[in-house]
């Protein structure tokens, strides 16, 4: 029995060497000769390949690596899609009125102006449309009564961009104020703002701002004591003198 095993082993080694001389890879040989790759490496390390054979194996390896990387990206993309899909199911639509109001307040807290008028600026059509609908729901102010201003690049078509936002939001084109045209720059812009940046303005909105701040204050009520306690502990940070401008 042992003699038969040795004979089969010798036959397998001979076949592996012949296949390698034909330029096959270890993976291809393993499909024909059922032994470990470590054994093939031992058997075949002295077999020299022709230049065209080495080129073929190198190209094949690069292709495998490329496909492996692409496969990982596709697998991760499917994972992300599943995460987002499952998260969507956690949210009940339409949003309850109180939730809807608080989401809008949080967006204004993050993106809104800190001046007297109620203003919010962004380039994302989804966010801006949400805010316009939120303003109508929370304060009974329709899009027809809102003002808007664009911030765009000189190579963009101001007229067409105004029409885009007007069509999306329902704000009349005549309600758009003078656009800010950014000066030409040689710097490379990674993100293309195809629709520019838009600022939504609510006229006579000082009291509306205070009302929104009241909603935000209510949201933060549970953490307010901790923030104030920590601020008192680190009072020295806000007592640091401001830097002096030495330019004349």
What's the mean per-residue pLDDT of the chain? 87
| Domain ranges, ordered by start, for the chain | 2-85, 97-234
Distance CA 92, CA 84 (A): 15
Query: What share of the chain has pLDDT > 70, as a percent?
Result: 89
Residue 69 confidence (pLDDT): 59
Mean pLDDT of 162-170: 97
Q: Among 16-25, 121-130, 181-190, name the one with the lowest average pLDDT.
A: 181-190
Residue 84 burial by Cβ neighbours in a 10 Å radius (0-12, 13-18, 19+): exposed
2 confidence band (pLDDT: 50, 70, 90): very low
pLDDT value for 6: 53
Per the CB < 8 A criterion, the answer to whether 99 and 93 are in contact is: no
Residue 223 CB burial class (10 angstroms; 0-12, 13-18, ≥19): exposed
């Amino acid at each position: 029995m042992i003699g038969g095993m040795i004979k089969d082993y010798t036959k397998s080694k001979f076949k592996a060497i012949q296949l390698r001389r034909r330029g096959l890879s270890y993976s291809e040989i393993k499909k024909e000769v059922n032994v470990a790759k470590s054994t093939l490496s031992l058997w075949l390390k002295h077999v020299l390949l022709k230049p065209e054979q080495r080129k073929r194996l190198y190209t094949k390896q690069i292709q495998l690596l490329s496909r492996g990387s692409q496969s990982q990206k596709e697998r991760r993309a499917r994972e992300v899609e599943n995460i987002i899909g499952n998260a969507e199911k956690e949210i009940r639509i339409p949003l309850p009125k109180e939730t809807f109001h608080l989401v809008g307040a949080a967006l204004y807290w993050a993106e809104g102006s800190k001046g007297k008028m109620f203003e919010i600026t962004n380039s994302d059509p989804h966010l801006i449309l949400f805010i316009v609908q939120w303003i109508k729901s929370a304060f009974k102010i329709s899009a027809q009564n809102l003002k808007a201003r664009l911030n765009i690049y000189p190579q963009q078509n101001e007229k067409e961009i105004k029409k885009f936002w007007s069509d999306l939001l329902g704000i009349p084109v005549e309600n758009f104020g003078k656009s800010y045209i950014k000066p030409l720059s040689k710097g490379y812009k990674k993100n293309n703002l195809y629709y520019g940046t838009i600022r939504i303005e609510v006229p006579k909105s000082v009291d509306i701002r205070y009302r929104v701040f009241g909603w935000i204050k209510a949201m933060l009520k549970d953490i307010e004591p901790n923030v104030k306690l920590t601020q008192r502990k680190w009072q020295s940070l806000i007592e640091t003198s401001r830097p002096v401008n030495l330019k004349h």
